[in-house]
Structure 1
Amino acid sequence: MRAWVIRAGENGERENLALEDGVLLVAWQGLGNLTTLTTREEIKAAVAAAYPDEGPYTVGNWTGQLYRFVHEIKPEDFVVLPLRSGRVAVGRVVDGYEYQAATAGDPRHIRRVEWLIKDIDRQSIQPDLQDSMGSLLAVFELSRFAAAERVAALAEGKPDPGRPDADEFAASLTEPTKLYEEVRRRAADEPLALSIRDFLAVWGVQRRYPAAVEQIKNDLDQRGLVTVPPFTEGSINSRIAVLAGGAEPDASGTSAMTRFTDTAAVPRGDVEADGEVETQTVSYHVSNLESANRMPEFVRVGASLKSAMTLMVLRGYSQLPVLDAGGRLRGVVSWESIGRAHMADPHASLEAATVRGQEADRSDDLLDWIGTVQQSGYVLVRDRDHKVCGLVTAADLTVQFGTRVRPFVLVEEIEQRLRRVVDRCIPLDLIRAVIPGRRATRVNSAANLTFGAYGHLLKVPENWAALDWAIDQEYFLAALEECRQFRNSLMHFSPDPVTDDQLLPAQGLLELLRSMDPQN
């Protein structure tokens, strides 16, 4: 049994047809019947012939999706259909591939499906499975973390049971009181350890916004709890321990904090030498990057230069750290340093090719190191014991800041499209009518409206009718309100990136606006 996601068009345009007729459909209208094409190579040749202007990447990508649709998806497999409403439908495949003659541009490539449930709320699906469903491919398999078994549970109307390797303790901590009780129940030498992601979920939040951090800090203070390291530092997947920081000393006269920081394997980078915890403020530290918390590959002092070069070629690395037996940095070997060493001595050793490496502390301000990473291409990361614990490259920064810019770009285009269509379709006096008091006189166009004002404006039947959009007003206004809340959340700093799943509402609204107002 396997589980697949089959989209009903780029913007869900075939959604109703799929649900009403019990079918899975993919377009690729330039292709004929694929029934007799039994290998990837045959399908690839057909795709290349049907779409001669497409490059090798696109041809290969489409070939993989079509091969899966025709040959790999089997009867009794489960299928997930993401819906424009934000919900999902789940069904079971009942038959093999079919080809139908196209009528009025309808898709030709079909699989029959029995829809078992058509309105699953995404809130009943765990974030990791939601992320897996977020691919932009039209046809792809859900294969990670027992996805097929979890989709089967959804098909029975049950909530997603979650990953088999999920932290059961974390899943049971559904409110702060339960967290407090769990810490109190445990022995001092067996503290509660969980990821920052799971820790935040106890308060029902996904990212470390200032308001959420302040609430959590107050709750911890009231309960006499403390996290080590502070939950405000490290990546969202970093692990922390929750301790009874205010508990009385034990028989030896030491606190739980001191006993833990003397023995724990959890990084101690945020605990001062006197056992006091640093102020838990939200800032953007080096440790907020995933790669800063992931041990890089390395070579030991005394290894051969040949082994370093082999590893660099195999992994596609530009440099490798050279560490001593205690895990501390002794230098870096790079292709440039290797070249220089060989120019002096064709039989140069690893030591001769090792140069000084850039090294940042986990708690350093990331912005202070951007110039260094830009210039040298990397910076190694160390913990408080001066042991290497991560590596940040220019590529890591590109991905990180690209991820952070994308939500703002999406929201900006949504606002621009709303302004344009409102100015074009709704008279200024009607726009001003939804603005209370004297502020209305200062409105000269839709550009003067707040994001929230668009919802009030388009609730008015006369204004909605002026748009002449063939879409459901209630769904649109609900999507607009969800996007408004998302936009507001972006305005509050958080060191945690926005996930693909959190972007879905904004992406869906933008695609709808592009469809209704296709002008550039």
Structure 2
Amino acid sequence: MRAWVVRAGANGEREQAALEEGMLLAGWVELGDLTGTATRDDIKAAVAAAYADEGPYTVGNWTGQLYRFVHEIQPGDFVVLPLKSWKVAVGRVAGDYEHRADAPEGLRHVRRVEWLVKDVDRQSIQSDLQNSMGSLLTVFELSRFGAAERIAALAEGKPDPGRPDADEFAAGLTEPTKLYEEVRRRASDEPLTLSIRDFLAVWGVQRRYPAAVEQIRNDLDERGLVTVPPFTEGSIDSKIAVLAGGAEPDEAGTSAVTRLTTSTTAASHLLGDAYDAVKRLVDRDGGEAETQAVAYRVSNLESANRMPESVRVGDSLNTAMTIMVLRGYSQLPVLDADGRLQGVVSWESIGRAHMADPRANLEAATVRGQEADRSDDLLDWIGTVQQSGYVLVRDHDHKVCGLVTASDLTVQFGTRVRPFVLVEEIEQRLRRVVDRCIPLDRIRATVPPRRASQVNSAANLTFGAYKHLFLVPENWAALGWAIDQEHFLAALEECRQFRNGLMHFSPDPVTEDQLLPAQGLLELLRSMDPHN
């Protein structure tokens, strides 16, 4: 059993038809019937012909999505349709791919589906699964954190049961005091370990905003605790240990942090690929375990933590080529028996090897591969990924543990740009309506007198100034909006707080539920001023 997301257009334009007709509806209006396609190459050729102006990356990306829609999705699989109402519909696929030549544009490529529930509140879906649903792709699989079983529960009207590997104990650490007591209760050789996500939840936060990071650091310092590695490093699902860093040394004269680090078995078991960060913490000059600043590491990308398909030294070149064709890959890592990178085989390297020797084997077609460490700064590798199309990722044992492609970067940064675009449109709409409806002298009255002369339009106002501007009865009346002022101002304040948090760097993604207030405010502003 598998679970998929199939969107109904970038703005949900096919949503009503999908729900009413019991269909999954792919767009790509220029494409004809794909019933006769058997391979990715068949679909790729059709996409390239229909969209001749698109480059190789886009053609490859669309090919992958359409191949899933036509061939990989199977009857009986679960499917999720995100709705404009910020609810989701869940259904079960009921038929194979069909092409309806006589249907309106955008409604021709279809899969029949039985909608089991059409109004699942996103608040009932835990943030890790919401994050997985946040891809900007139209068709993609939900494959992590036991997604299929959790979607099945939603289809039965039950709440999201959460990750099958969720730490039930961590869920009970509902406040810092409980965490402190648990650390103190444990023996030093059995430290408290939990994910950064669960650790942040102890303080009631979901992302590592600067203000939250500072508060947590101060609380830990006050209690003499330290996280290993620092909770500001790695992805939000990375594991950390919480130790009594300020406790006196044991009989051997070593601290809890050093004992954990020097015990290879314990460190590997508890911290895995975070071991390098542990060493940096212990070996840092000055002896004091300072907390690292928040950084955006390669490990923050989901694909950097997912073992890529590969071939081994000694495999045949035919094996590599078969996998590449079946999966639509451009390259494959070649690993030794210990999982370390020996090189990469690609269609280009295969072509070059065959030009030199038609009987070339895998070794002859293997070339040096680009390899990043999980703890590297992601920004340092963007140019390499852009130029080569990929970079492989290794863990602290120098074993391959992930693969980052240009597609991964596009999705990741597209997701991160979305909140900024959302807030920017809200601000633009506020500026336009204020400049159109409220005289300049009343706009200037919102700011301190010493700044009034510097205000030439609403563009010179801070976001927080709009609340004070709209609290003036004649200004609110000038807008002519038939909406509730109290609720609007509350939404405006919530958006202001969201915006302020957004302006501070955090390595953690913004979830759909965190976007809800701003998205709702934007929809309201669009409704009040539909022509702009």
Q: When the two structures are superposed, what TM-score results if normalisation uses the length of structure 2?
A: 0.72
Mapped partners of 1:32, 1:362: distance in 2: 46
2:279 to 251, 255, 272: 272
Contact 2:281-2:290 at 8 Å conserved across structures: no
Considering only CA atoms, is the larger Rg found in Structure 1 or Structure 2? 1
Mapped partners of 2:277, 2:165: distance in 1: 28
2:119 to 80, 86, 92: 80
How far is 1:153 from its partner?
Answer: 6.4
Query: How does 1:159-198 map onto structure 2 within 5 Å?
Result: 162-163=162-163, 165-198=165-198
**Structure 2 unaligned residues grouped into runs of 5+:** 24-92, 284-288
Question: More deviation in 350-359 or 291-300?
Answer: 291-300
Contact 1:200-1:207 at 8 Å conserved across structures: yes
Contact 1:282-1:494 at 8 Å conserved across structures: yes
Mapped partners of 2:440, 2:465: distance in 1: 14
How far is 1:219 from its partner?
Answer: 2.2
1:204 equivalent in structure 2: 204
Query: How does 1:404-415 map onto structure 2 within 5 Å?
Result: 404-415=416-427
1:484 equivalent in structure 2: 496
**Structure 1 unaligned residues grouped into runs of 5+:** 13-25, 83-87, 89-121, 155-159
Kindly provide the CA deviation profile for residues 296-338 of structure 1, in whole angstroms up to 9, marking residues without a partner as x: 2222222222222222222222111112222221111111111
Mapped partners of 1:392, 1:211: distance in 2: 31
Secondary structure in structure 2 of the residue aligned to 1:480: helix
**Does structure 1 residue 145 correspond to structure 2 residue 145?**
no
Letter in 1 for 2:423: V
Contact 2:307-2:402 at 8 Å conserved across structures: yes
Question: More deviation in 169-178 or 180-189?
Answer: 180-189
Mapped partners of 2:98, 2:469: distance in 1: 51
Query: How does 1:39-438 map onto structure 2 within 5 Å?
Result: 49=102, 51-52=103-104, 54-55=105-106, 58-60=107-109, 64=112, 67-68=113-114, 72-73=115-116, 80=119, 122=123, 126-128=126-128, 144-145=149-150, 148=153, 162-163=162-163, 165-261=165-261, 262-263=264-265, 264-265=267-268, 266=271, 267=273, 268-272=275-279, 275-276=282-283, 279-438=291-450
Letter in 2 for 1:415: E
How far is 1:379 from its partner?
Answer: 1.3
Mapped partners of 2:96, 2:161: distance in 1: 40
Question: More deviation in 241-250 or 280-289?
Answer: 241-250
Secondary structure in structure 2 of the residue aligned to 1:369: helix
How far is 1:27 from its partner?
Answer: 5.0
Mapped partners of 2:16, 2:149: distance in 1: 27
Change (3 A) 1:476 1:181: same
Mapped partners of 1:373, 1:132: distance in 2: 23
2:70 equivalent in structure 1: none
Mapped partners of 2:291, 2:11: distance in 1: 47
Contact 1:304-1:350 at 8 Å conserved across structures: yes
Contact 1:131-1:501 at 8 Å conserved across structures: no
The total of aligned residue pairs comes to 434
Secondary structure in structure 1 of the residue aligned to 2:351: helix
How far is 1:221 from its partner?
Answer: 2.6
Secondary structure in structure 2 of the residue aligned to 1:80: strand
Kindly provide the CA deviation profile for residues 187-218 of structure 1, in whole angstroms up to 9, marking residues without a partner as x: 33332222111111111211112222222222
Contact 1:381-1:388 at 8 Å conserved across structures: yes
How far is 1:438 from its partner?
Answer: 2.4
Mapped partners of 1:210, 1:302: distance in 2: 50
Contact 2:344-2:368 at 8 Å conserved across structures: yes
Mapped partners of 1:230, 1:33: distance in 2: 49
Letter in 2 for 1:318: S
Secondary structure in structure 2 of the residue aligned to 1:330: strand
Mapped partners of 1:402, 1:241: distance in 2: 32
Mapped partners of 1:132, 1:341: distance in 2: 40
Mapped partners of 2:199, 2:156: distance in 1: 26
Letter in 1 for 2:279: E
Question: More deviation in 241-250 or 173-182?
Answer: 241-250
Q: RMSD of the alignment, in Å?
A: 3.6
Mapped partners of 2:154, 2:453: distance in 1: 59
How far is 1:377 from its partner?
Answer: 0.9
1:92 equivalent in structure 2: none
Secondary structure in structure 2 of the residue aligned to 1:234: coil
